[in-house]
Structure 1
Amino acid sequence: MELQTHHRQGYEYVDEGEGPVLLLLHGLFGALSNWADVVDAFRPHYRVLIPLLPIYEMPLAQAGVPGLARYVEGFVGALELPAAFTVLGNSLGGHVALVYTLDHPDRVSRLVLTGSSGLFEDGMGGSFPKRGNYGFVQERVAYTFYDPAVATKELVDEIFRITNSNSKCLRIIAIARSAQRHNLTKELHRIHVPVLLVWGLNDTITPPPVAHDFARLLPAAELAFLDHCGHAPMMERPAGFNAYLRRFLRKTAPQPAVLA
């Protein structure tokens, strides 16, 4: 499906459906389309919002996880979202979701993390993007998925264009280094909302032991794995991802008040 974008107060975003809010955050090389299957599955009963994170355009001095969390804060304010909502994040988006939750514990009712950074990440296989090297980019994009066929030529071409821009590459490096610096091991115990962790068993960027660490450190977390799946389960195994998400949302839905 092709996602239609909206603009308000300088923010570009997807806004589909009506109901309780699901706020979706993409990763470092991610895009709005990464969540297309989630949008399609949940918009009949939820309002699904995806802000386009300004990873390649934000001021270099602000290019980092805290800067992106502040951007999400501004987006939430601009759209006047309800008091509490559910936040989903993939990879860097999960890291941003965690920092936002730590900064605004009263605004987040539930968290869903998939392939999240925040404890460990091997985002570029131990190195940063190499400008002008198409083969390197192709290899790194394929490294993201269990099935290299998911790394289509269109996806590789798009990321190659991004990494071939000097200004964008500087921001990618700054944000990647910020993610490595901002380890949340000592902070996660402060997050008490229900958390769903959905991980690919074949994730080589945030491997399965990282998921187990998140499950151990987050007080109210449950962990689910998808086999034959890499770093982006909502793209590579959308049916399985959506099934886990649907079950979690139903189980943790607010219960109606019982009148005396």
Structure 2
Amino acid sequence: MKRNVILLHGLFGGLSNWEKVITHFQNDFNIHIPLLPIYNQHRENILEYLVSFLQHTIDSGQMEKVILVGNSLGGHVAIIYAHRYPQRVEKLVLTGSSGLYENYTVGSYIRRKDYFYLKERIEYTFYDPAVATATLIEEVMLTLADDQKCIRIIKTAQTTQRNYVTALLPQISMPVLLIWGAEDKITPPDVAREFKKSLPDSTLVFLSRCGHAPMMERPEEFNKLLEDFIC
């Protein structure tokens, strides 16, 4: 029986972020890429809401155990879920995860109609600015053009920056792989080292010439590391 892998995207991420991972693993694993309901209206803390959504996704899919792979916000959600439901998580993979420190302040106002400003902020995510394609920039601008979505993004970013997982990490006992961009400017290398120090059973690998989204910027190396860890 194929094992279940759940890929969790970041705040400005989407299903397309995992395209190379899906292609590489889809024949050997059941790959699930839920679209995190960041823009839904709800009364809960957004992280609690997303953890509940993940729990519903796993239950409704009748998955007894899963491998969680989370980037940025997705990693934050995966950490909380793995701590709360350790019996449901076989292995955990974090890449550029939030939860300790993020060098990316989102205030109450985003210059969402300023193409060149947004282009610069999106390029900041990567080591190679060419990864921030015109299509990617246009997708972000389209999202931010929606008033309600923009508000939800601001609130989500502010919540994650106030929510620290430091106390949870020593209690996460399953194997954890940390795949980190050596040039990640949003969650810098020291953040990865802090995760490594606090997680009891963890392995840390840095990818050179790589920023905040290794599965997009260094997909071959990312997939090889992931394959060695979960196969």
TM-score, with length taken from structure 2: 0.96
Name the counterpart of 2:174: 193
Q: Which of 195, 205, 213 lines up with 2:194 in the alignment? A: 213
**2:3 alignment partner AA:** P
> d(CA) in 1 for partners of 2:120 and 2:221?
26
Name the counterpart of 1:110: 91
In structure 2, do the counterparts of structure 1 residues 228 and 71 end up closer, same or farther at CA, with 3 Å as the change threshold? same
1:74 aligns with 2:52: no
Offset at residue 161 of structure 1 (A)? 1.2
Offset at residue 126 of structure 1 (A)? 7.5
In structure 2, do the counterparts of structure 1 residues 45 and 193 end up closer, same or farther at CA, with 3 Å as the change threshold? same
**Paired positions, count:** 231
Paired-residue identity, %: 46
**1:51 alignment partner AA:** P
Rg comparison, structure with higher value:
1
Asked if the contact 2:21/2:219 (under 8 Å) is kept, the reply is yes
Which digits, 9 at most, give the CA deviation of each residue in 1:219-254, with x for residues without a partner? 00100010000000000000000111111113xxxx
Name the counterpart of 1:87: 68
> d(CA) in 1 for partners of 2:112 and 2:43?
21
Asked if the contact 1:55/1:63 (under 8 Å) is kept, the reply is no
> d(CA) in 2 for partners of 1:128 and 1:148?
24
1:50 aligns with 2:50: no
Alpha-carbon RMSD across the aligned residues, in angstroms, is 1.5
Offset at residue 26 of structure 1 (A)? 0.4
Q: Which protein, 1 or 2, shows the higher relative CO under an 8 Å CA cutoff with sep ≥ 6?
A: 2
Asked if the contact 1:31/1:52 (under 8 Å) is kept, the reply is yes
**1:140 alignment partner AA:** R
4+ residue runs of structure 1 moved beyond 4 angstroms? 124-128
- SS in structure 1 at match of 2:33: strand
Asked if the contact 2:68/2:89 (under 8 Å) is kept, the reply is yes
Offset at residue 131 of structure 1 (A)? 2.8
